[in-house]
Structures are given as structure tokens and as C-alpha cells.
Structure 1
């Protein structure tokens, strides 16, 4: 069985990699961070190239391709730590809206609009929201909303289902939250805000599956690049007149990093291809999220450790990958929550 990408998919990967690598130099990333943390100019450039809409319907300005193509882009975003809303827009909102509310896809492929997801509450688990919905309005608070400060609309989880809320609607208040990776999240308060119900509560799990898989794909890119940076360093760093890569302890720990990084990629792509084929992906997404959280943390810690003091230099590239890994580790639930959810899925599966 051939698991290789098609020539068109390889061309897409090459295009995304070239554009993101050329733009996302460490100097540019720092400039964007100092200017607010979100690179909307790069996002519009990706949209002009057709990359943002790669998985969106042709009727809405997209290319009409599948989630596999979206996955390719997400992995490259992770490799370059590009400060663009690829995960919430391409990985979550677009596939969900394509199925439940195509009218709200307008302007997403062109980069003119950004729709994000508001799933985390101040306490509790993302799988069991408590936000109140009554009479076509929402009341409550969502926290750590990705790219919420620049969003035009929100897909919001409530106790009885999923809703769409316009960011400019009366009763919506958006507050910036500074995040670990330098890209701001938002705390969004809904005070009787007008909301359109998109789907029942059963659809929430599918939206989270897309989110966990998208995170894991980004983490696959983050950890792969971190391992590359570490590998180059230990092959060049000389101690006791030898490259430190020749020391057994260093080599073993570097090998563990590669194993974890490959496991993240394998599980992420396993979940991505089930989503691409329209198959149930709950267990696969939860497994991928576990590896992204647990394995991702191990990789960036080890890579930092193997660099010695250089690893904690904020101007050294590896530090940015460490911060990205920490952010992705916790969004939509960390290691323990992922395992608990996976255990519940397995326990509920008939034998």
C-alpha cells in the first residue's frame, strides 16, 4: 500500500513551506510579536495564493479539496511557527461550517473574514460546556479563544449545542489575553448576545476532533523543526575535543526526541486521514492529542536541555518552538484530560 503524497500534494507542501519559510524569519516573527502578535498580512498573502481556502468548497471561493491538504498546511505552519489563524479557521471553523452552516463561509477563503471557536470556559472540560442559551441569546464567558481579538465571528459551545455569534453583536465583549506563544487569545463575554444555533450538542465532539487533530499536526511541525535545530547544534557543539553528539547520553536523548516526534506525526496523520475520509475519528484524535501534549512536551524540554544555556536564550529560535509547544499542549485539554476522554471512548465502545 502506497502512503506517499500525490504530486499535487507535494507541490502544495512545497509552496506552503517556501512562503512561510521566506516570511517567518526570527526577525520578522519578533517584529510581529512586538506589533500585536498576529500576522494578518501573511494570512492575506496565503489567502491570495489559495492556501487558506484549500479545503473549503469551490462555491465559497475555496479549492474544494480535503482535510489531507489542510493537514499539510497546518504541519508547515507548525514548522515555521507562523502567527496566522490557520488552526481555528482552516482546521476547525471551515470544516464545521461546511457541514452545518455554509452561509457563514463567505469571506473565509479570501482572508477577508476570520471565524474562530470559543470552547473553553473558566472552569470545566471543553466536552461539557455550561454556557447558557435562552431565546436565541447566549450568556456566559469563554476564555482562551484563539485569535479572538481579530475574529469577525465565533462558533460558541453552549449547554444545548453550538451557536454562531457575530463579533460585533450587542452584548459581546472581547478582551485580549496574553498567551505563552506571544499570539494573543481572547476572553469573550456574552451578555444576552444574539446567537444563531448551528447544531445540537452531539456535534461538539466532531468539532473538537478537528481541533485536536489540527493541534497535533501543528505540534508535528513544531517538534520536527525543534529536533532539526537540536540535531544541528549537537553535531557542531564541541566539548572535550569531541562533538557532543558522539556522547552516548546525548545520542540516546536525541534519539528519544526523534521517536516522540515521529509518534506525534504518525498519530496526527492517522486522525487527519480519518477526518479526510469522513470516518469517525474520536479515538484517533484523542490519541493524537495525548501524544502532542505528552510527547511534545518531552521533545522541546529535551531539545532545550541538550542546548545547555543557549536553549533558554529568547533570541535563539528554539525558545519560540518551546513556547508554541507549551501553548498547544494545554488547548482543548492537556495530557490527563486527553487520556480520560480516550478512556471514556474506549469504555463506551461495544465489544
Structure 2
């Protein structure tokens, strides 16, 4: 079997490297010292460069102005973005656009996707529920509006926490439940009546929002009720998070290698000490395991749109990838801090920002333990032959 990336996927990587080449990961104040000190807005100039390079519409069909590539291509670009801690909503935007393209009606696709491909309609998604631990679709109720209205609209009520980039996005994808066990996905404009945003700040220092929906009316055309639409979007977000963790971890290990090769102790570079080399080698193994499980999950998502196609649904591959990403990125940054010594705690050096972002990615969409439990449930429901 040929495991090399396609020419189109490799071209996307080269374009991403060119765009991110001038991004400095130490250009933002330390979130540990000054919580909420990062800019309220995401990096709009960088977003414009991504749009000019056709990377924002990477996964959208050419009919909508996109490049027509797949989840693997998106993860390759996310990997490059995380190397420099790029402050753009690339994951949330692209994953939501993919959900609209796959499951939205013609009117919704026509309204959102051309602008999304150009980066003009910025999309994000509320994926963490009310507390960050409960299923996101259970935090909001969706019910048909009063029959007297006669417009087929739906009404949303509830609270979603830790919504990334919500203050800057134009549209927010909100999972909800109908009370009959059905999960739906509503596309809500940020300026909708009854929608309120309260400031929250993430571990990485970025500004998030607690989203409150109080009688928010959504036209029927903005509601996606296709079976499995929300679950697939959630899996896309989790897989993209794994790609971000991989890119971040790889750059942190490179920083550690460069530092330990220059730092001398007893007249020798500390990289030549066996204890240092063994720890770095263990982290390299973590990264390779993170990589192989990431590509397995991304491939399964592209190969099977219905989540089937094997002894386990694609959720199993996503769970395995997120387990490795959560545990692996934590070990990589902890080892990096240890091998950097006191220098690793210097806020004039960017390692502290990578550590804060790594903790955010570790817990985002569930820590390893939550995905281990989900994987156990899947194995119990799908016994292997």
C-alpha cells in the first residue's frame, strides 16, 4: 500500500508553510502572567493570507469556491498552524463548513459556503456543552416555534460554554436536542436576538465565550437534522485537535533538541547525556504514535461518511487518536520543560506558550480518560471477531 500524501495534499502543506513562515509564536503576552491579555480578535491579517492562498476553502467543493480536498489535507494544514500557534479559527471554521456542505440544505449552502471559502463568513461551533463535560447537544433544546407563526422556525434555549472565537465569528453552529432523542445542528448568526456572549478565557489565554440562547429563533433552513451530522462534526473537531497537538508537539521537541544540543554541562552538550537522550527518544515515539493514529482517524472519516465500514465505527479511530494526542502532547511539553531547566520557565522564551496551548488541546473535547471510556463502550458494543 502507498501511504504517501497526494500531490494536492503536499501542495497544501507547502502553501501553509509559506503563509505561517513569518508568524512568531512569542509575539503574544504570556497568558499565565496576564490572563486574557491576548487580543480579543483572532489574527485577521493572517486569516487574509490564508484566504489569499485558498487554504480557508481547502475542504469545500469547487462549486462553492473551494479546493475540494479532504480531512487529511485539512489536518496537514492544521499541523503547520500549530507549529507557530497560529491564532486563527481554522479548525472550527473548516469543520463547520464541511458539516454544512455535507448535510445542509441548498439554501443554507448557498448562503454560507461561498463566503466561508473566501474567509468572509467566519464560522465557529459550540462543542463543549454547559460544563465542558456533558454532551454538547444536551445543553440546548430545540423546539418548533408556535404554530401561529407559520414560518416553520425553531426556537433554541440553553447555554454552551467555552465557545472559541465566538466574539469574532459571524455564525455559530449550535448542537441541540429536540426532546425526542434527536440531535440537530443550528446555524445561528452571532447577532441573533436572544443570543448573549459572556467573556471566558481558556488555558491558552485566548478569549472564549459562554453562549446563552434565550428564545433564539432559527429558520428551518438553518437547522440541520440529518442523522449523524452532529456526531460527524464532533469527530472532525476531535481529529483536527489531534492534528494541532501533533504540530505543537513536533515543534516543541525540535526546540528541545536545539536547546540541549547547545546547552553544555561538564564541558559536553547535555544532549549527549544518556538520561537526556532517552527522554527525548521516548517523546519522539509519542509523536510517531500520535501521527499514525491521527492519519488513521482522518482516513476513516473520509473513507466512510456514515461512520461504518469496519469492526468499529470511525468513532473508535477518533477516540484512539485523541487518547494518544492528549497523553502524548502532555508528556512532550512536560519533558521539554524538564530538559530546558529554569530556561523553560522564562516568559521571554516561547516554550511557556506552547505548554499552555498543549494543556488546552489535551483537555479540549475531552481528556484521554473520557475517550478511553468511550472506546470501551464501543468495544463492548462491537465485539471483535
What's the TM-score bracket when you normalise by the shorter of the two chains?
over 0.9
Contact between 1:116 and 1:146, CA under 8 Å: does it hold in 2? yes
Tell me the distance in 2 between the aligned counterparts of 1:272 and 1:79: 19
Runs (4 or more) in structure 1 with deviation over 3 Å come to 26-35
Instruction: List gaps (5 residues or longer) in structure 2.
Output: 31-35, 145-153, 179-183, 308-313
Using the TM superposition, give the Cα deviation of residue 33 of structure 1 relative to its aligned residue in structure 2, in angstroms. Answer: 6.1
1:137-176 alignment, distance < 5 Å: 137-160=155-178, 161-176=184-199
Using the TM superposition, give the Cα deviation of residue 37 of structure 1 relative to its aligned residue in structure 2, in angstroms. Answer: 5.4
1:195-274 alignment, distance < 5 Å: 195=218, 196-199=222-225, 202-274=228-300
Task: Summarize the Cα distance change of 1:345–1:128 in structure 2 as closer, same or farther, 3 Å threshold.
Answer: farther
Using the TM superposition, give the Cα deviation of residue 166 of structure 1 relative to its aligned residue in structure 2, in angstroms. Answer: 1.5
Q: Deviations over 1:104-153 (max 9, x none)?
A: 32311111111111121233423662322222111111011111111111
Contact between 1:149 and 1:175, CA under 8 Å: does it hold in 2? no
Between 1:42-51 and 1:222-231, the stretch displaced more is 42-51
Match of 1:5 in 2: 5
CA RMSD of aligned residues (A): 1.9
Is the aligned partner of 1:93 residue 2:96?
A: yes
So what's the TM-score if we normalise by structure 1? 0.94
Contact between 2:25 and 2:85, CA under 8 Å: does it hold in 1? no
**What SS does structure 1 have at the residue aligned with 2:67?**
coil
Tell me the distance in 1 between the aligned counterparts of 2:38 and 2:237: 27
Q: Deviations over 1:297-343 (max 9, x none)?
A: 11111111110011111221222211111111111111111111111
1:318-337 alignment, distance < 5 Å: 318-337=351-370
Tell me the distance in 1 between the aligned counterparts of 2:287 and 2:217: 43
**What SS does structure 2 have at the residue aligned with 1:106?**
helix
Match of 2:115 in 1: 107
Instruction: List gaps (5 residues or longer) in structure 1.
Output: none
Q: Deviations over 1:226-258 (max 9, x none)?
A: 000001111111011111111111111111111
Q: Deviations over 1:1-55 (max 9, x none)?
A: 2211233322221221121022x11454459964335101211210111011011
Match of 2:140 in 1: 131
Task: Give the structure with the larger helix fraction.
Answer: 1
Larger radius of gyration: 2
Tell me the distance in 2 between the aligned counterparts of 1:291 and 1:173: 36
Is the aligned partner of 1:58 residue 2:81?
A: no
Kindly tell me the number of residue pairs found equivalent between the two proteins: 349
Task: Summarize the Cα distance change of 1:73–1:140 in structure 2 as closer, same or farther, 3 Å threshold.
Answer: same
Is the aligned partner of 1:69 residue 2:73?
A: yes
Using the TM superposition, give the Cα deviation of residue 283 of structure 1 relative to its aligned residue in structure 2, in angstroms. Answer: 0.6
Contact between 1:116 and 1:155, CA under 8 Å: does it hold in 2? yes
Match of 1:182 in 2: 205
Task: Summarize the Cα distance change of 1:261–1:215 in structure 2 as closer, same or farther, 3 Å threshold.
Answer: same
